[in-house]
Amino acid sequence: MTLPIVAVDRELRQKLCSIVTQKTGIQLPENKSAMIEGRLRKRIRAVGVPDIRTYLEMVFDGGHLANELPHIIDVLTTNKTDFFRESPHFDFMVKHILPAHRAGRAFRFWSAASSTGEEAYTTAMVMAEHAKRQPGFQFSILGTDISSTVVTKARQGVYSRDDIVDIPRPMQDEYLELGHSSDGRALARVIKPLRERVKFAQMNLTTAPYPVEKNMDVIFLRNVLIYFNDAMQKQVVSAVTDHLRPGGYLFVGHSESAAATDPRLVQKAAAVYRKEAD
């Protein structure tokens, strides 16, 4: 179905953008209006109203803001991710962090903008491999994201075969099971014993304190800070750093280094920081 093109009232659109920014920290400047309207069309189709203007009037004047906001956030977040994305980060963990971990307690990892789960499951595979070299090594992995749709998808751990190409072949063989969807698409699912090691929850990074345990060994906060303004980047980096143990590591996206300004952090490699003090 093609929706009619209806000029969206600038004021209504700005109202929507400022609510989304206030709730999520995500900046939605005027030059993104075509993207915003394009993405909202998905939701408009699902609701069954004829056009964007009617939809926004329903949201703001019809008292549907509370119901619709999670759906609006879902469509306006950018969830692009990959297995082994920015792979030097996983090499750094294997080479410098995991071997230094003392036995006796589980290694705690948090993927703080986990999207559909690839980052958390990549880490689970890397840690399962490490456990072969260091028997007794235990780990727990948490993934959180503001979008409930990606959290649901992450829990399922089902990916298209095109999505798994960056996983080394021996790991694919060991940690994925292959199958097909009912309409014949080739799929891969993370095996149950590995899925059980990874927990996912919906959580907004802009509303600290977080319901997440402290004393994390490693936190990945990658490719989410770019959507925030400078003040929000600073606030989120600081709140996330509170959840690292002294000596723990924060990883940001390779394009986000300028955001890691917390005075407790010392840079150790590209976009990798060690928390030196509590």
Ligand X SMILES: C[S@@+](CC[C@H](N)C(=O)[O-])C[C@H]1O[C@@H](n2cnc3c(N)ncnc32)[C@H](O)[C@@H]1O
Binding site for ligand X (CB under 6 A): 24-26, 77-81, 85, 113, 115, 119, 145-147, 150, 204-206, 222-224, 227, 253
Q: How many other C-beta atoms lie within 10 A of the C-beta of residue 173?
A: 11
* Ligand-binding site membership of 204 (annotated): yes
Residue 153 Cβ, how far from ligand X at the closest point, in Å? Answer: 10
* Ligand-binding site membership of 24 (annotated): no
Among the listed residues 187, 202, 198, the one whose alpha carbon sits nearest the alpha carbon of residue 74: 202
Residue 144 Cβ, how far from ligand X at the closest point, in Å? Answer: 7
The CA–CA distances, whole Å, from 132 to 129, 167, 172 equal 5, 18, 16
The CA–CA distances, whole Å, from 173 to 162, 195, 275 equal 15, 15, 36
Residue 115 Cβ, how far from ligand X at the closest point, in Å? Answer: 4
* Ligand-binding site membership of 81 (annotated): yes
* Ligand-binding site membership of 85 (annotated): yes
Residue 177 Cβ, how far from ligand X at the closest point, in Å? Answer: 23
How far is Cα 245 from Cα 193, in angstroms, rounded to an integer? 27
* Ligand-binding site membership of 67 (annotated): no
Phi, psi at 98, each rounded to 5°? -60, -45
Among the listed residues 36, 23, 112, 27, the one whose alpha carbon sits nearest the alpha carbon of residue 69: 23
How far is Cα 109 from Cα 140, in angstroms, rounded to an integer? 6
Binding-site residues sit at 79, 81, 85, 119, 145, 204-205, 222-223
Could you list the residues known to form a binding site for S-adenosyl-L-methionine, using ranges: 79, 81, 85, 119, 145, 204-205, 222-223
